[in-house]
Structure 1
């Protein structure tokens, strides 16, 4: 359509205009990985870097994440809508800077109180059980409780890499176990 019409009367009546005919075509990328088989997810993948997450750090926005063992675990706090909402409303770069996170997930005295509750509910600790591993487990549970308000068998959440990194730095050990799917999940 190279004709330029200067007046409405000059526009031909048989002009065949289709919706979106002047829009650029969509480019489909077949390399995109589905987030979960059910199509639902606790986080949004921004961009198409899902395949490269273990090879680079372009996926994190907060500046506190580290590359984790699996692609699934390589998620930033900005990718979880509930976490991102708390982070942005507090005007923080990373959820690990939030006072509630530091007080409830990194404070050994708070975790010690939760430890007693954990022992009553789960089982007594072995004398040889490394306390940092137990504190990490409790800290992860406290983070889930703070953000999602529920815990339970088969209700596991992948945590942001920055959260896992901060907890691991506070309660280090030689061995770490990454995220594992629940055997109770259907």
Structure 2
């Protein structure tokens, strides 16, 4: 058998397959404690912030967010900024890809069918706007960051959150939460 094409996963010197090659590396306890202290800092609520949105928003489309880590503009994120620059738009919400992926009801309906296929039917009392808003957040993250590992979440820029909330309104919003 010739395994020359599979040289990454087959080590000819040892004559064995390396099955865990693409698994994430283990995190030492020291790294974990540093990570935990960082997440405690990021998770702290800053409801006392009375400053103007203009102090941190560069695109002009952001809204006030309740916590410090949610106050993030699309222009302050390299990946999002690159997508906006490629289209020549001042805000990611004006990008055609955002409009199609996150605000188009037909695209979200298709994502809804995939969601219920993988996760079962939605709860009886759950509003469809709530589910579409959730799916729009997921589609935005997939569009910008690609496929993320389980329990790896990214804060969505406030302007994108605002556009999605305007399209799929609710009386109450939960905000960003890190995984348990």
TM-score, structure 2 normalization: 0.71
Q: Which has the higher helix share?
A: 2
- CA shift, 1:53, in A, is 6.3
In structure 2, the residue matched to 1:110 is: 107
Is the aligned partner of 1:166 residue 2:167? no
User: Structure 2 CA distance, aligned partners of 1:90 and 1:129?
Assistant: 36
- CA shift, 1:96, in A, is 0.2
Unaligned runs of 5+ in 2: 1-36
In structure 2, the residue matched to 1:9 is: none
Report the number of matched residues: 138
User: Structure 1 CA distance, aligned partners of 2:72 and 2:139?
Assistant: 19
Residue deviations 1:62-96 (CA, integer Å, cap 9, x gap) = 01001101110010000110000111121111000
User: Structure 2 CA distance, aligned partners of 1:134 and 1:175?
Assistant: 13
Greater mean deviation of Cα atoms: 167-176 or 119-128: 119-128
In structure 1, the residue matched to 2:38 is: 37
Is the aligned partner of 1:89 residue 2:90? no
- CA shift, 1:171, in A, is 0.1
Distance 1:54 1:90, change over 3 A: farther
RMSD, aligned α-carbons: 2.2
- CA shift, 1:122, in A, is 1.2
Q: Do the aligned partners of 1:53 and 1:67 also contact (CA within 8 Å) in 2? A: no
